[in-house]
């Protein structure tokens, strides 16, 4: 299915009522118990009515308060983990809830084919993911899971949010852009460490940076990336052989997503934040994305964090709370 066919189908699926307020008798309140995490931010766990996507919801004080959707990065790890003592830990959605301070509801969705507390040996890629995840997970079903969960939580909780904010990190940033293009109700997109070029071009940029000025190494590495892509095209359904941590169907589906065009299509205001020392996603790709959006006249803020890596750390110091705080202050300002 082509990308814009997907966008159109999701738009029809959710936009039959522009406010998401239409309720269906097929939607039943399906709350699943989840261990308390801390004392302040306890998310309820739900399954959607039909596809049984799993999502976690933290309510705000008022039904008209904003909803913040957190979209995680690549891989098959759950957004919750549990240590040997039974202590439970969560992902960025907990940081977001802490920063939002009950002024916004927070929604986090588990990736399809991922169970709560599931952990892989190599987070961020699919080296140790199940065959089911490798074979069935794709960005189309992921966007559907996010859109369905959003629609159902608004209906079930009888919400009328004054804004819908999507916070996406890494792979989640490009998925957030696609979701915003699909749903005109999305008012703000926080695009964190998401790059902006096609995946092959971004592979070029990574190799150029890793070559550290050695032009011969750089040339060989770029040729190798081109050969890898050609090999993917020869076996586009092969889920067993991995390239750069993922199988061919994943990369080929990523190549059909254009974050620049998605963000141009969306009605959302845009906040792009990128570390200059990110080895996963080049600052050059982020600069390219921003330049295209500014030329297109989009309402955009751009925050370049000097020295920050892919997870917004600078010399081992964690800056993710600062990133979340600054971006949410931008999105939540009157």
Q: Give domain status of residue 219, yes or no.
A: yes
Judge whether residue 154 has pLDDT over 70. yes
Q: How large is the average pLDDT for residues 100-111?
A: 94
pTM of the model: 0.88
pLDDT of residue 224: 96
Contacts of 163 (CB under 8 A, 6+ apart): 66, 67, 187, 188, 331, 332
Q: Give domain status of residue 316, yes or no.
A: no
Q: How large is the average pLDDT for residues 21-38?
A: 50
Judge whether residue 52 has pLDDT over 50. yes
Q: How large is the average pLDDT for residues 53-76?
A: 96
Percentage of the chain beyond pLDDT 90 is 73
271, containing H or E segment: strand 269-275
Judge whether residue 160 has pLDDT over 90. yes
Domain count, the chain: 1
Judge whether residue 230 has pLDDT over 50. yes
Q: Give domain status of residue 49, yes or no.
A: no
pLDDT of residue 82: 86
| Separation of alpha carbons 123 and 317, rounded Å | 21
Asked if residue 123 lies in contact with residue 114, where contact means CB atoms within 8 angstroms, the answer is no
| Separation of alpha carbons 133 and 301, rounded Å | 35
Asked if residue 67 lies in contact with residue 104, where contact means CB atoms within 8 angstroms, the answer is yes
Q: Give domain status of residue 236, yes or no.
A: yes
Q: Give domain status of residue 247, yes or no.
A: yes
Judge whether residue 262 has pLDDT over 70. yes
Judge whether residue 13 has pLDDT over 80. no
Quote the mean pLDDT of the chain. 88
Q: How large is the average pLDDT for residues 31-49?
A: 71
| Separation of alpha carbons 150 and 185, rounded Å | 11
169-223 residue pLDDT tens: 999 999 999 999 999 999 999 999 998 878 999 999 999 988 888 999 999 999 9
> Tokens 């406010």 map to which residue?
19
Q: Give domain status of residue 273, yes or no.
A: no
pLDDT of residue 42: 81
Q: Give domain status of residue 147, yes or no.
A: no
Determine which of 40-49, 52-61, 267-276 has the lowest per-residue pLDDT on average. Answer: 40-49
132-142 residue pLDDT tens: 999 899 889 99
| Structure-token pair, residue 221 | 């590495």
Judge whether residue 113 has pLDDT over 50. yes
pLDDT of residue 320: 94
pLDDT band at 253 (very low <50, low <70, confident <90, very high): confident
Q: Give domain status of residue 309, yes or no.
A: no
Asked if residue 67 lies in contact with residue 150, where contact means CB atoms within 8 angstroms, the answer is yes
Which domain range does residue 208 map to? Answer: 198-257
Q: How large is the average pLDDT for residues 229-248?
A: 93
Judge whether residue 33 has pLDDT over 80. no
Beta 105-109 vs 67-71: how paired, if at all? parallel
């Amino acid at each position: 299915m082509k990308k814009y066919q997907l966008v159109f189908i999701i738009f029809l699926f959710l936009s039959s009522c522009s406010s998401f307020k239409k309720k269906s008798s097929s939607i039943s309140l399906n709350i699943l118990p989840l261990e308390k995490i801390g004392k302040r931010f306890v998310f309820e766990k739900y399954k959607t009515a039909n596809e049984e996507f799993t999502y976690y919801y933290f309510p705000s004080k008022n039904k008209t308060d904003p909803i913040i959707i957190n979209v995680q990065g690549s891989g098959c790890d759950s957004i919750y983990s549990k240590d040997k003592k039974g202590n439970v830990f969560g992902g960025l959605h907990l940081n977001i809830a802490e920063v939002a301070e009950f002024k916004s509801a927070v929604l986090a969705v588990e990736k399809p084919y991922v169970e709560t507390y599931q952990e892989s040996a190599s987070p961020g890629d699919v080296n140790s993911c199940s065959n089911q995840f490798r074979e069935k997970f794709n960005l189309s079903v992921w966007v559907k899971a996010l859109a369905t969960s959003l629609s159902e939580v608004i209906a079930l909780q009888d919400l009328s949010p004054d804004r819908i904010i999507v916070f996406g990190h890494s792979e989640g940033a490009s998925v957030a852009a696609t979701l915003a293009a699909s749903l005109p109700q999305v008012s703000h997109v926080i695009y964190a460490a998401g790059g902006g070029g096609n995946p092959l071009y971004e592979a070029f940029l990574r190799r150029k940076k890793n070559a550290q000025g050695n032009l011969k190494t750089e040339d060989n590495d770029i040729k190798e990336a081109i050969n890898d892509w050609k090999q993917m095209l020869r076996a586009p359904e092969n889920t067993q052989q991995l390239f750069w941590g993922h199988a061919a169907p994943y990369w080929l589906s990523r190549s059909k997503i254009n974050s620049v065009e998605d963000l141009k299509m969306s009605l959302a205001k845009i906040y792009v934040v990128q570390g200059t020392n990110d080895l996963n996603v080049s600052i050059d790709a982020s600069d390219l994305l921003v330049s295209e959006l500014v030329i297109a006249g989009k309402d955009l803020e751009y925050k370049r964090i000097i020295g920050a890596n892919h997870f917004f750390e600078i010399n081992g110091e964690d800056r993710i709370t600062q990133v979340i705080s600054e971006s949410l202050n931008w999105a939540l300002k009157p």
